[in-house]
């Protein structure tokens, strides 16, 4: 007798589906039950792939990708893998805001890391804080730490202009030193100038004069005679990317390096390669990272070795290291939180003590600024170099401490 009438079959099938799903088989066809893949941990990464900071941006991407690869190879978060979603912000605040909004709303990014300009990172931060999404900035800025731009979702893994200029001035300035400034006329240049003048006033150095130049200036020849006429002991060049290489080369061509010592707030790996050993010889500046830290810092050696293995023997650069440390610290916090829940990860980041590439780091409570060391480096003579990557000597390492930062009160954070 056929017992499988319409009612019987329908009830039996529903029961069978529930039972087989619980048993791990797909109802009705006897195939293994395939669970939906765990949602990936999506990290949006806006950075200026095109434009004058493109070399630094590409280094950030490679190092960030290495951090993601290591996280995934270690099993991710209970099997949840991370993925990096790179977007070109074109070094434009409006473009960066659009790309960040797309990453959050269309691509459903859990977190945002990146940016390579003071103005761009503030634009990214405006979007992330309005959407309550964690943003880890990897570009120098003093403003992003100030209360008016800060949110509990904002973390700043990069050094800031106050830290770098204070460290360079401490090394290079003396009481009575005459300092002339050549400054890129945008937020980065202005913040560096402010930092140097503040440090100079504390030391007793004098300002011989200052000249602002347009961002991305193709020619600096009109500025050089004016700078020479100031007769400075030190010429302080406050710019970034290709501007740094071009202005230092022209200062050298005009003989300024023979009359004055050249210092920069951030001595860039890629611009030293672009400018050449002769033009950069003796130039002093600060850095967040240099690969020869491996001689004294075990985590730098581990980072370098992993990078060499991943990228055909190459070594990581300064701004590349920011991409690595930011993503590594973020994913460490995700693991500590056991989840991608924003509030849990914020709490984990605030309590995180990490050492992934350069020694101990942590995020200060009031403004989420990374407390970390500052390196003072000097560009080597060509005859002193031991290989193409041996660009600098490390003159000093200023240990990370809260004393290096502007106070929470000065930044507008009230207890």
Q: Residue length, the chain?
A: 415
CATH architecture of structural domain 39-158+291-371: 3-Layer(aba) Sandwich (3.40)
Q: What is the pLDDT of residues 241-276, one digit of tens each?
A: 999 999 999 999 999 999 999 999 999 999 999 999
Domains 39-158+291-371 and 160-286+374-396 belong to one CATH topology:
yes
How do the domains of the chain map onto residue ranges?
39-158+291-371, 160-286+374-396
pLDDT value for 218? 86
Q: What is the DSSP pairing of strand 284-287 with strand 374-379?
A: antiparallel
The per-residue pLDDT for 415 is: 65
| 38 CB-near residues (< 8 Å, 6+ apart) | 78, 79, 80, 81
What are the φ/ψ torsions at residue 403 (nearest 5 degrees)?
Answer: -65, -20
- For residues 16 and 399, what is the distance between their CA atoms, to the nearest angstrom? 65
Q: How many beta carbons lie within 10 A of that of residue 325, not counting itself? A: 29
What is the pLDDT, as a whole number, of residue 37? 67
d(CA 339, CA 77): 8
* Per-position pLDDT tens, the chain of length 415: 333 333 333 334 333 333 334 434 333 334 344 344 689 999 999 999 999 999 999 999 999 999 999 999 999 999 999 999 999 999 999 999 999 999 999 999 999 999 999 899 999 999 999 999 999 999 999 999 999 999 999 999 999 999 999 999 999 999 999 999 999 999 999 999 999 999 999 999 999 999 999 998 989 999 999 999 999 999 999 999 999 999 999 999 999 999 999 999 999 999 999 999 999 999 999 999 999 999 999 999 999 999 999 999 999 999 999 999 999 999 999 999 999 999 999 999 999 999 999 999 999 999 999 999 999 999 999 999 999 999 999 999 999 999 999 999 999 998 6
Q: Crossing angle for the helix pair 118-131 and 187-203, nearest 10 degrees?
A: 110
Q: Which of 86, 81, 14, 11 is nearest to 331 (CA)?
A: 81
- Tens digit of pLDDT for each residue in 281-324? 999 999 999 999 999 999 999 999 999 999 999 999 999 999 99
Q: How far is CA 127 from the centre of its chain?
A: 18
CA–CA separation, 243 vs 238, rounded Å?
9
Neighbour order of strands in the sheet with 361-363: 353-354, 361-363, 370-371
The answer to whether the beta carbons of residues 309 and 192 sit under 8 Å apart is: no
Best CA proximity match to 328, nearest among 6, 84, 21: 84
Contact, 52 vs 92, CB < 8 A?
no
Reduce the DSSP state of residue 147 to 3 states and report it. coil
Tokens 């005679």 label which residue? 225
> Is this structure's pTM higher than 0.85?
yes
CA 130/CA 158 separation, integer angstroms: 22
- For domain 160-286+374-396, give the CATH number: 3.40.50.2300
Q: Is 268 exposed, middle or buried (0-12, 13-18, 19+ CB in 10 A)?
A: buried
Q: What is the DSSP letter of 35?
A: P
Assigned token pair, 226: 């004016």
């Amino acid at each position: 007798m056929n017992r499988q009438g319409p009612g019987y079959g329908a009830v039996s099938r529903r029961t069978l589906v529930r039972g087989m799903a619980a048993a791990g088989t797909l109802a009705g066809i006897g195939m293994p039950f395939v669970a939906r893949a765990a949602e990936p941990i999506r990290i949006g990464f806006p950075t200026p792939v095109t434009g004058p900071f493109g070399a630094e941006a590409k280094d950030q991407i490679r190092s960030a990708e290495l951090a993601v690869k290591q996280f995934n190879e270690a099993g991710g978060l209970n099997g949840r893998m991370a993925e990096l979603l790179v977007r070109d912000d074109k070094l434009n605040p409006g473009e960066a805001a659009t790309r960040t909004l797309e990453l959050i709303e269309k691509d459903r990014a859990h977190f945002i890391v990146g940016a390579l300009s003071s103005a761009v990172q503030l634009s990214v931060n405006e979007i992330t804080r309005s959407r309550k999404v964690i943003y880890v900035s990897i570009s120098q800025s003093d403003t992003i730490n100030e209360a008016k731009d800060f949110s509990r979702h904002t973390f700043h893994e990069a050094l800031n202009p106050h830290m770098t200029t204070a460290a360079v001035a401490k090394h290079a300035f003396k009481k009575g030193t005459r300092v002339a400034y050549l400054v890129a006329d945008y937020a980065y240049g202005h913040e560096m100038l402010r930092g140097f003048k503040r440090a100079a006033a504390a030391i007793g150095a004098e300002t011989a004069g200052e000249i602002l130049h347009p961002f991305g200036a193709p020619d600096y020849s009109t500025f050089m005679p004016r700078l020479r006429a100031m007769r400075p002991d030190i010429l302080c060049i406050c710019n970034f990317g290709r501007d740094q290489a071009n202005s230092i080369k022209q200062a050298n061509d005009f003989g300024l390096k023979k009359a004055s010592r050249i210092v920069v707030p951030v001595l860039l790996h890629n611009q030293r390669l672009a400018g050449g050993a002769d033009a950069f010889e003796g130039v002093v500046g600060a850095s967040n990272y240099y690969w020869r830290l491996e001689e004294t810092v075990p985590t730098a050696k581990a980072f370098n070795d992993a990078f060499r293995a991943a990228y055909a023997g190459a070594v990581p650069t300064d701004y590349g290291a920011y991409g690595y440390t930011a993503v590594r610290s973020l994913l460490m916090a995700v693991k500590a939180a056991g989840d991608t829940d924003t509030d849990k990860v914020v709490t984990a980041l605030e309590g995180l003590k990490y050492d992934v590439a350069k020694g101990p780091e942590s995020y200060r409570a009031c403004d989420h600024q990374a407390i970390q060391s500052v390196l003072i480096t000097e560009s080597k003579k060509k005859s002193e170099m031991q290989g193409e990557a041996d660009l600098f000597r490390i003159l000093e390492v200023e240990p990370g401490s809260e004393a290096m930062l502007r106070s929470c009160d000065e930044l507008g954070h009230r207890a």
